[in-house]
Amino acid sequence: MSLSIQDAQMQVDQWIKTHGVRYFNELTNMALLTEEVGEMARIIARKYGEQSYKTTDANLNLADEMADVLFVLICLANQTQINLEEAFKQNIEKKTKRDALRHKQNPKL
């Protein structure tokens, strides 16, 4: 099943209205986003970095943590009336113009 960003924004909004009572305020959601990114970073540091796993890390799921990040980001977009689909399209256009040759000419890559 394919899901557009716009559909995801509507699905999150419906979930909040049905199960979440209301959106947390923007500052709370920003703190939650930071927390979720930290949880995702923890998994990546252990799976792809030098940190070793702890016994409490056994059930960590990178896909689930990425979905948590996306959910809270969508909450913030909904609260601030940002159309993420349009913003993403504009961001890709900006990067394409700005970085058309930059990465190809980078000898480090």
Counting other chains too, the contacts that 4-7 makes at CB distance below 8 Å and 24 or more residues apart are: 4/85, 5/84, 5/85, 5/88, 6/83, 6/84, 6/85
> pTM for the complete prediction?
0.90
Q: Which domains does the chain have, with CATH numbers?
A: 5-84 (1.10.287.1080)
pLDDT tens-digit profile, the chain (109 residues): 899 999 999 999 999 999 999 999 999 999 999 999 999 999 999 999 999 988 888 789 999 999 999 999 999 999 999 999 999 999 999 999 999 888 888 888 9
